[in-house]
Structure 1
Amino acid sequence: MLKEFKDFIMTGNVIDFAVAVIMAGAVGLVVNGFVADIVMPVVGHFAGGLDFSEMKVVLDEAVVAADGSVTTPENAIRWGSWVNTIVNLIIVGFVMFLIVKAYNKSKKKKEEEPAADPGPSEVDLLKEIRDALKK
């Protein structure tokens, strides 16, 4: 059973999948950083200096005790964070589109090999046998 597991793990598909998952995590971190640190400040600048990550609709204000500690945290709909997530999704989708497009372009197109001559059909062989028997 251990040998079967080793054979399974060492197949190309499992190794390729593991590498893809690790690379996806790394690319995700890069894209999140790109969105948070580069794209959203530019979007915020053109939107009048807004920071979308801080945009929210407060449903219930936080309750603060006399000593300054928060007894009940605020309840809010954080729609700005959701906007950041949507922008992140669009950028990830676009990057993946570019990667797949470049990959497909780099693959060599396989030229169709001419089909091998199938030879005579059964009917042709039977006709040849018939003609040979007549002789």
Structure 2
Amino acid sequence: MGMISEFKEFALRGNVVDLAVGVVIGGAFGKIVSSLVNDLITPVISLFTGSADFKSLSVTLRTAVLDAEGKETVPALLLNYGSFIQSVIDFTLIALVIFFAVKAINRLRRQEQAAPPAPAPAEPSAEAKLLAEIRDLLSKR
């Protein structure tokens, strides 16, 4: 078996195609969730916290060293804890949105599974039963 045909068999296997579709849809869904968090949820949170961006929060561990002309020779050393806080908030909000989306999808699946089965066909009327008996008797002759 040639390498090309082996690769073709691998690439067209159901699981690989399903995975590829999942990755593409997941990427698109990630953009939607990020937009929801950044454009809708974070501004609402900023109403309560006063700022939507914590990235500028830091503690100076060492101040910058300047030369006689005022140029920075040694940059300041900062502990940027605000970036960490912002990442934790972003992760939490994205995880919540995904949780609620998965919860809604699971609820829809349960409703589909719990749907009542199709009604059984109605029992034939007395006339239909009688006609069937007559047909059966005639076919035996």
Q: TM-score of the superposition, structure 2-length normalised?
A: 0.60
Letter in 2 for 1:54: K
Q: How far apart, CA to CA, are the structure 2 residues paired with 1:108 and 1:7?
A: 38
Q: How far apart, CA to CA, are the structure 1 residues paired with 2:63 and 2:88?
A: 21
Q: How far apart, CA to CA, are the structure 2 residues paired with 1:60 and 1:13?
A: 52
What is the 5 A alignment of 1:1-135? 1-45=3-47, 47-54=48-55, 56-58=57-59, 60=61, 63=64, 65=66, 66-67=70-71, 71-78=75-82, 79-103=85-109, 105-106=111-112
Tell me the secondary structure at the aligned position of residue 71 of structure 2.
Answer: coil
- Aligned residues: CA RMSD: 3.0
Q: How far apart, CA to CA, are the structure 1 residues paired with 2:58 and 2:41?
A: 23
Q: How far apart, CA to CA, are the structure 1 residues paired with 2:79 and 2:92?
A: 22
Query: Identity rate of aligned residues, in percent?
Result: 25
Tell me the secondary structure at the aligned position of residue 27 of structure 1.
Answer: helix
Aligned twin of 1:120: none
- Contact kept in structure 1, 2:60 and 2:77, CA below 8 Å: no
Tell which structure's C-alpha radius of gyration is larger. 2
Q: How far apart, CA to CA, are the structure 2 residues paired with 1:36 and 1:53?
A: 13
How far is 1:97 from its partner?
2.5
- Contact kept in structure 2, 1:52 and 1:81, CA below 8 Å: no
Tell me the secondary structure at the aligned position of residue 51 of structure 1.
Answer: coil
- Structure 1: give runs of 5+ residues left out of the alignment: 112-135
- Contact kept in structure 1, 2:62 and 2:77, CA below 8 Å: yes
Q: How many residues align?
A: 109
How far is 1:54 from its partner?
3.4
Tell me the secondary structure at the aligned position of residue 80 of structure 2.
Answer: strand
CA shift digits 1:4-59 (9 cap, x unpaired):
221121122211110101111111111011101110111221x1423254374525
CA shift digits 1:73-132 (9 cap, x unpaired):
5222131331222111111221133234335545697x7xxxxxxxxxxxxxxxxxxxxx
Letter in 2 for 1:60: L
- Contact kept in structure 1, 2:56 and 2:80, CA below 8 Å: no
Aligned twin of 1:121: none
